[in-house]
C-alpha cells in the first residue's frame, strides 16, 4: 500500500516526500546543462513551440546556471548529469570538452558525453570512456541519424564493452522523424545486445513497442521523462493497460525529468509517478535504486 499517493505538492515538499519513502535523494538520469549559447538556442526553439509543436511550451526553470544547480540540489539530486547531443559533424568533440569541464567544476556533476556518425567516432567514444564518461546521450530526431547507422558500430561496441549507459531519445514524440520509433533500436540491439540503453520518455508515444524492447534485452531501461504529466497526457498519454506492465519492469524504469526544459515544476513529475498507484516499493526503485545503479551512486 502506498503511503504517498499524491506525491509532493510543490518543489519545497520534495525533501519530506523523499524522507517518507526512506530515500537519500533522487537519481535523475535525464537532466540538461549546456554551453550558454547552445542553451539559448534550445530555449528559443521551445519559445516557438506553438509553431513547432502546435502548443506552448514555457520553460519553468529559465534561470542562470548556479540557480538551476541550487534548484536541483534543493529537490534532492545527488548527481547532476549535463546531457547534450550533437546534430552535425564536429559538434560532439566541442560538447564533450564542455561537458568534461562541467563535471570537473560542479560538485556532483556527472561526466556526460555524446557522439555523431562521423569519421573517428569510435575512437572518440573510446577516448571519452577512458577519460571517465559515465553517461552518454543521443537524440535520433534532432541528430537526423539512425542509431543503427553502420558508421556508429565501433562507438556502440565501445559502449557495450564498457557497459556505460546511453540515454537515447528514439520515440516519435513530440514530433516524429525519419529514424524515430522502435525499429532502428531493434536493429541496433540485434548487433549489440548487451548495450545499456535508457529509452528517453519511455519511448512515447510508442510506449508498448519500447516496453517490448525492454522485455527482450536486459540492458534496456525506460526513463520517466515527462511521462504521465498533465502536459504530456494531452498529446501522448499512456495507452490503456500500459500501467499494468510497469510493475514487471520496476528494476528497469529510471527517473528522468528533462530539467530545466519542462513547462511545470519538478514536483509535478513526481506527482505523476506517485498517482500511478504502483506503491512505495516501485517508487523507491524508480526514484533512486535504478538510477543510482546506472550512475554508480551508493545504494540506499
- The answer to whether 29 touches 294, Cβ cutoff 8 Å, is yes
Kind plus residue range of the DSSP H or E element containing 216:
helix 207-216
pLDDT for 52? 82
- The answer to whether 253 touches 272, Cβ cutoff 8 Å, is no
pLDDT for 4? 58
In this structure, what C-alpha cell is assigned to residue 296?
554508480
Select from 139, 169, 143, 172 the least CA-distant residue to 256. Answer: 169
Domains present along the chain, CATH in parentheses: 11-295 (3.20.20.140)
In this structure, what C-alpha cell is assigned to residue 128?
571519452
- The answer to whether 87 touches 143, Cβ cutoff 8 Å, is yes
Q: Is 272 helix (H, G, I), strand (E, B) or coil?
A: helix
Give the C-alpha distances (Å, rounded to integers) separating 189 from 6, 161, 213, 224, 226: 37, 14, 9, 21, 25
pLDDT for 300? 86
pLDDT for 1? 42
Which positions of the chain have pLDDT values less than 70?
1-5
Amino acid at each position: 500500500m502506498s503511503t504517498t499517493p499524491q506525491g509532493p505538492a510543490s518543489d519545497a515538499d520534495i525533501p519530506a516526500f523523499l524522507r517518507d519513502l526512506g530515500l537519500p535523494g533522487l537519481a535523475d538520469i535525464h537532466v540538461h546543462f549546456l554551453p550558454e549559447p547552445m542553451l539559448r538556442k534550445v530555449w528559443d526553439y521551445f519559445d516557438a513551440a506553438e509553431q513547432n509543436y502546435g502548443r506552448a511550451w514555457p520553460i519553468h526553470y529559465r534561470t542562470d546556471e548556479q540557480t538551476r544547480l541550487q534548484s536541483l540540489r534543493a529537490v534532492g539530486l545527488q548527481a547532476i548529469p549535463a546531457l547534450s547531443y550533437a546534430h552535425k559533424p564536429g559538434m560532439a568533440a566541442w560538447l564533450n570538452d564542455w561537458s568534461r569541464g562541467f563535471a570537473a567544476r560542479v560538485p556532483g556533476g556527472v561526466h556526460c558525453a555524446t557522439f555523431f556518425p562521423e569519421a573517428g567516432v569510435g575512437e572518440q567514444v573510446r577516448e571519452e570512456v577512458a577519460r571517465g564518461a559515465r553517461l552518454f546521450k543521443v537524440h535520433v530526431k534532432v541528430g537526423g541519424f539512425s542509431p543503427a547507422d553502420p558508421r556508429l558500430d565501433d562507438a556502440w561496441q565501445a559502449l557495450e564493452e564498457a557497459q556505460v549507459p546511453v540515454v537515447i531519445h528514439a520515440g516519435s514524440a513530440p514530433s516524429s522523424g525519419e529514424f524515430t520509433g522502435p525499429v532502428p533500436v531493434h536493429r541496433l540491439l540485434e548487433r549489440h545486445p548487451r548495450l545499456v540503453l535508457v529509452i528517453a520518455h519511455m519511448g512515447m508515444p510508442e510506449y508498448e513497442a519500447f516496453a517490448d524492447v525492454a522485455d527482450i534485452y536486459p540492458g534496456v531501461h525506460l526513463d520517466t521523462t515527462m511521462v504521465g504529466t498533465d502536459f504530456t497526457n494531452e498529446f501522448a498519454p499512456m495507452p490503456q493497460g500500459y500501467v499494468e506492465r510497469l510493475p514487471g519492469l520496476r528494476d528497469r524504469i529510471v527517473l528522468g525529468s528533462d530539467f530545466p526544459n519542462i513547462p511545470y515544476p519538478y514536483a509535478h513529475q513526481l506527482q505523476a509517478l506517485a498517482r500511478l498507484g504502483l506503491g512505495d516499493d516501485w517508487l523507491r526503485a524508480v526514484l533512486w535504486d535504478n538510477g543510482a545503479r546506472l550512475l554508480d551512486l551508493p545504494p540506499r
